[in-house]
Amino acid sequence: MKQCEYCGKEISYHEMYCCDACQDEANRFYELRHKFQKPYSVINGIFVIAIGICIFLYSFLRDVGAIGGASSLMILGAMYFFLPFPPEIMIHKYKLKKAIKITKIIASIIFALGLIVLILYLTNVI
| 50-80 per-position pLDDT tens digit | 999 999 998 888 888 899 999 999 999 999 9
Question: Does the residue 1 lie in any domain?
Answer: no
> What's the number of domains the chain is made of?
1
Its pTM stands at: 0.87
Question: Does the residue 118 lie in any domain?
Answer: yes
- Sorted by sequence, the CB contacts under 8 Å of residue 71 that are 6+ apart come out as 114, 118
Amino acid at 52: G
Q: How far apart are CA 70 and CA 90, in angstroms?
A: 27
Question: Does the residue 61 lie in any domain?
Answer: yes
Q: What pLDDT is attached to residue 14?
A: 86
Q: What pLDDT is attached to residue 63?
A: 86
Question: Does the residue 115 lie in any domain?
Answer: yes
- Sorted by sequence, the CB contacts under 8 Å of residue 15 that are 6+ apart come out as 2, 4
| Structural domain containing residue 114 | 25-122
pLDDT tens by residue, 5-54: 998 888 888 888 989 999 999 999 999 999 999 999 999 999 999 999 99
